[in-house]
């Protein structure tokens, strides 16, 4: 099962792997033609009703595979309004090759020609809101037509993220959906075929630019709260700065008053809140919990905390009561394994910490991905296991990030990772935030290594984060 927005991410990952959207469109169109052939007799009349996006583009491809039938392709709009190059190229090919094509420029022209089969290619996963004209009128005409209706990807009007169908959406007899089932499709009164369109498994297994686009904030978003420090001061500062560089609006650090000034000294951009103690204690944890629940529901707990017994008890107590989203890093990971909590945790162990938590002992994390997935299922939280390749799993879905470089074994890169994940956790699905966070941290290291493989610092990565998050678009 895959949502429409994740499908777009997988498409983008496939393109980055070298399987272009145009190749996918050709496969999609061929799959649609196969379905039409299954319900039509030679010589039947097939009417394609196409929208201006790639859903329409799929049907322009299908028309080229239906020479045994009388095919008419209607475009709802003018060719100049076709929204993507690959759809426009396929429309132009139909026109140049003298296929029967018609541009319908207003809803009065939507009177459907007689048809044995209608291909509904108006709207797919690019839909937003209820059907607008002329798609609404066309949808009614298609539903009422005395023809077998074959829908491309989803019936027009169906929302592949929410899994529901517009009241005025097309009622299809058959649906050819691509790559994977969509939530809610099975509930429709239609025969659904899932067509393999040649997307490499790697496009879902390995984190790519589509995952980064899906998880990154559009504007400034969120106020993560870093609970770290005491005795160390650099780690919480790196995590909090990384959160700002990854799109957070504000970044708070709660730290012992003995070192709060030092942490503030690293950066005027941080809001450092001292607490009256030398280390995090259970008594302090209660106050921090109240603040965390008030500010925003994402915290980072762990960077630089140290391993004093009362500190670990305080971390345990905080997490047991917390109900928001938390990145748990470094020393705080010790308390996760037998923790009862309603919080959504993203645990970010390195190989050593993973073993200490009770997870698999592995030199090559990617090779141990299944065991890491089982461990994530066992503890009931997301595990982002950090290594040469990072393994990110929620116990059901597992992704691998291959970004990064050997220079990132310098201290502090785990702290920047924790901060990036916290910023993305404000709005993205937790697994998407963890996968994209791991990937972007690695991309920042790669950007530094391009200049000089050795000797860069975790703090150097901060300035590379915006380009790693927003700069890699393939368009
Ligand atoms: N990997 C795959 O699944 C592939 C899918 N393909 C096909 O691409 C579409 C998604 O294409 P996209 O261009 O993103 O959007 P659509 O064609 O679905 O629709 C955009 C089109 O519709 C207009 N529009 C949006 N909302 C409405 C509305 N409520 N009422 C009326 N019109 C609306 C918008 O203005 C655009 O013009 C996917 O479904 C697959 O069919 C790829 O071809 C191959 C890989
Ligand atoms: K459709």
Give CA torsion, residues 185, 191, 197, 198, to 10 deg. 90
Per-residue DSSP letter, 153: S
Cα–ligand 1 centroid distance for 81 (angstroms): 13
Does 7 sit in the ligand 1 pocket, CB within 6 Å?
yes
4-204 fold: Rossmann fold (3.40.50)
The conformation of residue 330, written as its DSSP 8-state character, comes to: G
Give the pLDDT confidence of 122-135 residue by residue, as tens digits: 999 999 888 998 89
- What are the boundaries of each domain within the chain? 4-204, 209-470
Question: Which residue's alpha carbon is nearest to atom 1 within ligand 1?
Answer: 11
Indicate which residue's Cα is closest to atom 3 of ligand 1.
178
**Euclidean distance between CA atoms 272 and 286, whole angstroms:** 18
Give the 3-state secondary structure of residue 472.
Answer: coil
Distance CA 150, CA 120 (A): 6
CATH fold of 209-470 reads 3.40.1190
Same fold, 4-204 and 209-470: no
Task: Note the ipTM here.
Answer: 0.94
Cβ neighbour number for residue 65 with a 10 Å cutoff: 18
- Average of per-residue pLDDT across 235-259: 95
Mean pLDDT of 44-67: 98
- Looking at residue 27, its pLDDT comes to 98
Report how far residue 366's alpha carbon sits from residue 402's, in angstroms, rounded to the nearest whole number.
9
Is the Cβ atom of 151 under 6 angstroms away from ligand 1? Answer: no
Does 51 appear as a known binding residue? no
The closest alpha carbon to 76, from 96, 98, 56, belongs to 56
CA of 118 to the centre of ligand 2 (A): 11
What is the separation of C-alpha 285 from the centre of its chain, rounded to a whole number of angstroms? 33
Q: 411-449: per-residue pLDDT in tens?
A: 899 999 999 999 999 999 999 999 999 999 999 999 999
Taking CA atoms, 154 is separated from 6, 26, 32, 143, 186, in Å, by: 15, 17, 12, 14, 11
Look at residues 143, 144, 124, 122 and name the one whose alpha carbon lies nearest to residue 133: 122
Pocket test for ligand 1, best of 19, 28, 53 (most atoms within 8 A of CB): 53
pLDDT in tens, 76-133: 999 999 999 999 999 999 999 999 999 998 766 678 989 999 999 999 999 988 899 8
User: Which of 433, 382, 389, 436 lies closest to 408 in space, CA to CA?
Assistant: 389
CA dist 271 and 259 (Å) reads: 14
Rg of the chain's alpha carbons, rounded to an integer? 26
Specify the pLDDT at position 474: 47
């Amino acid at each position: 099962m895959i949502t429409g927005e994740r499908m777009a991410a997988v498409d983008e990952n496939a393109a980055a792997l070298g399987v272009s959207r145009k190749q996918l469109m050709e496969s999609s169109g061929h799959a649609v033609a196969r379905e039409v052939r299954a319900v039509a007799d030679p010589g039947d009349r097939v009417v394609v009703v196409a929208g201006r996006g790639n859903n329409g583009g799929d049907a322009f491809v299908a028309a080229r595979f239906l020479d045994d039938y009388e095919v008419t392709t209607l475009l709802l709009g003018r060719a100049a309004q076709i929204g993507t190059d690959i759809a426009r190229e396929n429309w132009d090919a139909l026109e140049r090759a003298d296929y029967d094509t018609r541009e319908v420029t207003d809803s009065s022209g939507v009177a459907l020609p007689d048809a044995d089969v209608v291909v509904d290619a108006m709207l797919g996963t690019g839909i937003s809101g209820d059907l607008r004209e002329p798609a609404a009128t066309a949808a009614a005409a298609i539903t009422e037509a005395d023809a077998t209706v074959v829908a491309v990807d989803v019936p027009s009007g169906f929302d592949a993220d929410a899994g529901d169908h517009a009241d005025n959406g097309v009622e299809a007899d058959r649906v050819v959906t691509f790559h994977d089932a969509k939530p809610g499709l099975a509930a429709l009164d239609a025969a659904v075929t899932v067509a393999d369109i040649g997307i490499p498994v790697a496009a879902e297994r390995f984190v790519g630019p589509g995952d980064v686009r899906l998880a990154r904030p559009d504007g400034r978003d969120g106020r993560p709260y870093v609970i770290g420090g005491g005795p160390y001061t650099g780690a919480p500062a790196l995590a909090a700065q990384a959160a700002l560089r990854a799109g957070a609006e504000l970044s708070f650090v709660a730290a012992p008053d003995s070192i709060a000034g030092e942490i503030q000294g690293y950066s005027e951009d941080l809001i450092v809140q001292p607490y009256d103690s030398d280390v995090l204690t259970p008594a302090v944890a209660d106050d921090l919990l109240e603040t965390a629940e008030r500010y925003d529901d994402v915290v980072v707990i762990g960077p630089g905390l140290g391993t004093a017994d009362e500190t670990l008890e305080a971390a345990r107590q905080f997490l047991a009561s917390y109900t928001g989203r938390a990145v748990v890093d470094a020393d705080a990971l010790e308390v996760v394994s037998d923790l009862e909590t309603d919080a959504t945790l993203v645990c970010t162990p390195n190989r050593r910490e993973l073993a200490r938590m009770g997870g698999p002992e592995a030199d090559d994390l990617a090779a141990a991905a299944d065991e890491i997935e089982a461990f994530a299922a066992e503890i009931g939280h997301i595990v982002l296991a950090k290594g040469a390749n990072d393994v990110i799993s929620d116990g059901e879905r597992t992704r691998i990030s291959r970004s990064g470089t050997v220079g990132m074994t310098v201290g502090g890169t785990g702290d920047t990772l924790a901060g990036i994940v916290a910023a993305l956790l404000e709005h993205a699905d937790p697994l998407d935030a963890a996968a994209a966070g791991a990937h972007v941290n690695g991309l920042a290291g790669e950007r530094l290594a391009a200049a000089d493989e050795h000797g860069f610092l975790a703090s150097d990565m901060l300035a590379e984060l915006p380009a790693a998050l927003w700069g890699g678009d393939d368009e």
